[in-house]
Every structure is written in structure tokens, then in C-alpha cells.
Amino acid sequence: MTDYLSVADAVAEEIRSGALRPGDRLPPQRAFAKRRGIANSTATRVYRELARRGLTVGEVGRGTYVRAAQDETAPALTEPAVGGRIDLELNYPAVPGQSALLAEGLGGLLRPDALAPALRPVGTAGLPAVQESAAGLLARGGWRPDPARVLFAGNGRQALSAAVAALVPPGGRLGVEELTYPVIKAVAARLGITLVPLPMDEDGLVPQALAEAHAAAPMHALYVQPRLHNPLSLTMPERRIEELAEVLLSLGLPAVEDAIWAFLRDELPPLAAYAPERTVLIDSLSKRIAPGLTLGFAVAPTALTATVAAALRAGGWAPMRFALEAAHRWQQDGTVRKLVAAKQREATERQELAARCLAGFPVRSEPRSYHCWWPLPRPWRADTFVAAAARHGIGVVPAAAFTVDAGHAPNAVRLGLATPPPDVLARALTTLADLARSAPEDLVTD
């Protein structure tokens, strides 16, 4: 008689070696018993043992599948760093139950009759039904884009690259906030574009400074983050965004509006609502839904839609139709709405946690933002603080990453709050606070 544990051990070894991969379906128990030369009752015990070990998962009506590997993190908070590293650099929000919610919405798409068309190629305009649902997904603050003007890219960075390429020729000038999203620096370098840093105040980009810079040396376009700015977390008040729209219209200057984080403030309309004929709005699903779901959006004025679409095609940045179909279903069944609401709540909770852990420091943040900006106390410099944090196993981003001219970076760091579990985040922030209260020379040992 065959011992069920020895059979379970053999299957476990197949999973460990990669012979059976995550997502592979095991045969029905009767077929498994026949293949292994064991009794049906033994096969039942084997399947139970594999599930007990966390190696498989059963799905009612579908069968038993090899389970995806579990995340193994052992963040280190003491010097020297050992084990895993706490990431406050990358910022990818995921809420409890997210995967189960997304999987439920994908059920219908995985039927062979639905999957076959979802695996065919598609153009930058997607499909009319998907454009319609995308318009609903992007709508906020009473603004809703014309579905015919919604274009799709493989991800948000591709949409951003296409918009900049469509508006600014090689050798041209692109205005940016003096603290800006680091990716725009890489995009500009690749396209041969000069970035022009523009002054900011507590309300964001200063419109008059934009007008003066353009008068001194004309620019081809502006790149701006009006809502939940990265890295500062600030949101332009209505009067400021109206002033910016007026300047864009008076100068005849187009703008690329980065709205990647704006879903967290979905009660506020975008800049595109104030200057629709001058604004190309860029968005994606990576923050709103999941980082591994790469789908970008570009909402262009009617006069620029064809130009932006041509830039997407020239870059080879067309979307995957499967991602389009998935996003369409999640929008239609309410999954997107549920995830957005959950992430808005979670962002608020994490900001409250950060406020407690960093109490007494002049940290700049927004109640619904997933990051905060920390001007460091003297005598700390951003570079030495980042190095000291790394020795404690914590990754943070220095201000220099967000400036066009790193030599003029403020003495600050950005903290991403989205990635670690809340308890790990709290311990990391407490460690950073303790570090900031010490002096750099306190860390020097013989």
C-alpha cells in the first residue's frame, strides 16, 4: 500500500523543481490516482496534504491548481542590514482582498470563447466599448472625457513618452515643475529635449513664472502634475488651476497633465477640464488597480488626437488587448470603483500613521496621498540620510532624484508609504525618526 505522504512529497518536489509551475492544474483525483497507481482514497489524502502545506489551491468547479509562491520578506531595521529591505522608494498600493476581487472579475474573460478575441492585436484607439468604459474610469469631479478622444498605450510611461514626443520636437524645450517626476527626465533625454524647471510655491506651479519663462525663451509644451504632485503631495487649489489654464490659453501652449495619482482625489476635476483644447491628460492602471497590469491612457484634444496616436504607433506602444478587456470588465462590474474607494481609505490611514511616527518634523503631505515630502533637520544632508537609512535596511529617495539640476536639490527626501505592510511601515518610519533625531557623527564607530 502506497503511503500518501510519500506521494505528496513527490508532488511537492515537482513543484519545487519547477516541473509543476504556479497556475498549473493538477488532474482530477481519479485521473491522478490512476496515473500514480494508487487508490482513489489515497489520492484524496494527497490532495488534502498538498493544500495543507499551502502548495495547491482548490477552485470550486475548476479543479486544483499549483499555488503561486508566497512573498517572503524579513525586513531589517537594525544595522547592519540583513534579510529583506523595506522599500519606501517605489510606491505600489495594494489593498487586502485585491487579488480575489480582480480574479472574480476575470472569470468570464478566461472562457475560451471570450479569451480568443482578447488575445488578438488591437490599435491605439482600442475598441469603442472599451473607450466608453475608459471614459467612465477616467471621469472625476464632474469632468468626463469624450470617449472618441481616449487612446491607449502599453503603460502610463509609454503614454507619457508619446504625448511629449507629439508636442515637443527634438531639440525643443519642455517646461516642468522645479521638482518633478523622475521619469520625465529620462523621457526628455531619450527624445533630445531640454527641460526648463519652473518655480513653485505652496500651491504648486506658479503660472506667472511659466509666462515669464516662455517670454524669455519660448517652450513647446508644459509637463505638470496638478493633483497629488509627486514628490510634494500637493494639490493645486481651484484658483491656481484656473490661473494656469488661463496662461496656457493665452500663450497657446499645450500641456501634458500627469494624472496617475489623481484617482485618490476623484472629487476634483483635472486641468483638462479647464483647458480641454490645450491639455493631453495621461493616466494608467498601475496605481489605481495593480502594478503588474500595464495599461496607459492618453486623452488628447481633437486637434492633437491623430498626432498622439501616431506617436504611440511609432514608438511601438500599442496596448495589449487582454489588458483592455480586463479593464473594461472591471470597470463595468464595479471592481475599479471598489478598489479606488479602498485605496483612498488606506492612503488616509497610512498618512495618519506617518503623522504619528514623524510627529515633530515638518513633513509635507496630503491626507489621501501615498507619499510624503520630508525636509530634513540640520545637520543632516539628503545623501547622508539616504545612506544611513540604507544601513538600517530602509530605502528612501533623495530630493536630487526629482530635480532637473541635481546640484540645486533641496535637503529633503520622499517617503513612499504604499508598499510595506502597515506594521512594517510603522517600524520603518519610527526608525527613520530616531535616525533624524541623531546627528550623522553619532553613526560613526571606531
Model confidence pLDDT, tens digit, residues 298-308: 999 999 999 99
Instruction: Provide the pLDDT for residue 81.
Output: 39
User: What is the pLDDT confidence band of residue 62, given thresholds at 50, 70 and 90?
Assistant: low
What is d(CA 434, CA 313) in angstroms, rounded to the nearest whole number? 51
Phi then psi dihedrals of residue 298, to 5 deg? -135, 115
Write out 29-78 in H/E/C secondary structure: HHHHHHHHCCCHHHHHHHHHHHHHCCCEEEECCCEEEECCCCCCCCECCC
**Contact between 167 and 215 (Cβ < 8 Å):** no
Residue 68: per-residue pLDDT: 61
- Phi, psi (deg, nearest 5) at residue 57: -140, 135
- Banded model confidence at residue 66, pLDDT cuts 50, 70, 90: confident
pLDDT score of 113: 80
Distance CA 234, CA 262 (A): 11
Inter-residue contact 294 to 152 (CB < 8 Å) = no
User: Rounded distance, CA 277 to CA 91, Å?
Assistant: 32
The secondary structure of residue 373, as a DSSP letter, is: E
Whole-number pLDDT of residue 443: 57
The answer to whether residues 5 and 49 touch, using CB atoms and an 8 Å cutoff, is yes
Q: 71-75, 239-243, 288-292, 377-381: which range is least confident on average?
A: 71-75
Chain segment 384-436, per-residue pLDDT in tens: 899 999 999 999 999 999 999 867 789 999 999 999 999 999 999 999 999 99
- Express the helix, strand and coil content of the chain in percent, nearest 5 each: 45, 15, 40
* The pLDDT of residue 161: 97
Q: Which of 117, 141, 112, 142 is nearest to 130 (CA)?
A: 117
Report pLDDT for 73: 39
289 burial level (CB within 10 Å; 0-12, 13-18, 19+): buried
- Cell numbers of 350, please? 497610512
Bridge partners (DSSP) listed for residue 224? 257
- pLDDT tens track for 94-134: 998 888 888 888 878 888 887 888 888 888 999 899 999 99
Distance CA 389, CA 435 (A): 8
Average pLDDT over residues 160-186: 97
Is the backbone peptide bond immediately before 379 cis, with ω within 30 degrees of 0? Answer: yes
Would you say residue 76 has pLDDT above 70? Answer: no
Q: What is the pLDDT of residues 128-161, one digit of tens each?
A: 999 999 999 999 999 999 999 999 999 999 999 9
Residue-level pLDDT at 442: 60
pTM for the model = 0.81
pLDDT over threshold 80, residue 83: no
Do 437 and 358 touch, CB atoms closer than 8 A?
no
- pLDDT at residue number 69: 53
CB 309 within 8 A of CB 151: yes
Most confident listed range (58-72, 111-125, 359-373, 377-391): 359-373
Mean pLDDT score, 319-328:
90
Report the range of poorest mean pLDDT among 51-55, 202-206, 225-229, 327-331: 51-55
